[in-house]
Amino acid sequence: MSAVAMAVGVVTGSGGAAAYAMSGTFNPVAGGADFGGLPDEKASTIQVDEPQTVHAIDLGSETARILKHEQLNALAAFTQASDVASDGYNTRQQAAAEQAAKEAKEAEEARKSPHQRQVEGWIKEAIAVLAANGTPITEDAVGQLYTVIEKESTGNPNAINTWDSNAARGTPSKGLMQVIDPTFQTYKLAGHDDIYNPVDNVIAGVRYIYARYGGLAGHPGLVGISTGSGYQGY
């Protein structure tokens, strides 16, 4: 600061510089008359003191805290809104997919013949009884059972085989699944005692398949179809 004052004193005249040197008080117009300036007696004085440290109140940390809090609130609100929008989108997508699947299933059902729909109705009824009585089977098996029934009896619940080895022994195969009387009596369920009843016949036939082959995956006729060797009786 003193260097600045001395420099200004040089510009304004030797009086200003000398005043600073003698008293420590700088008069910018002292000696100004030497340069056509104001008279010394009217000159204002500036007391030159050591610079004082200003202790300002620091509001920065509090302001930052408030701003951060507001930003976090805004981010939380945005995230929540985004999640709601995403959930809504996913729900709509799922609903659309379910609707498309439903329409595809209805279209597939519409293409089936009345005969197929009737036979599959019997199968579904039998599956419900089987599942309720401990057989691990679902309606996913409808197609496989329909194939077996069509190969065995062409879907005729009153069909009787009069020419195979079972018939030669006096126990002809009967009904949708073409089971013989001893097999039916062994694998029927209580209350399902009629071998010519389509649901009762399917119940006994499926239980026999599960007991002998471990399930439909082991049925020799279905295995033959899947491997290309053709259907064979069970």
**pLDDT of the residue at 65:** 80
**pLDDT of the residue at 49:** 52
What 3-state class would DSSP assign to 203?
helix
Find the radius of gyration of the CA atoms of the chain: 52
- Where does the chain show beta strands of DSSP type E? 25-26, 46-47
What 3-state class would DSSP assign to 193?
coil
DSSP at 26: E
Q: Spell out a b/e string for 198-234, using b for 16 or more CB atoms within 10 Å of the CB, else e.
A: bbbbbbbbbbbbbeeeeebeebebbbebeeeeebeeb
- Average pLDDT along the chain, 234 residues, taken 10 residues at a time: 38 40 44 44 49 51 79 83 82 92 90 96 98 98 98 98 95 98 98 98 98 98 97 94
**pLDDT of the residue at 86:** 80
**pLDDT of the residue at 189:** 98
Question: CA-CA distance, 87 to 84, in Å (whole number)?
Answer: 5
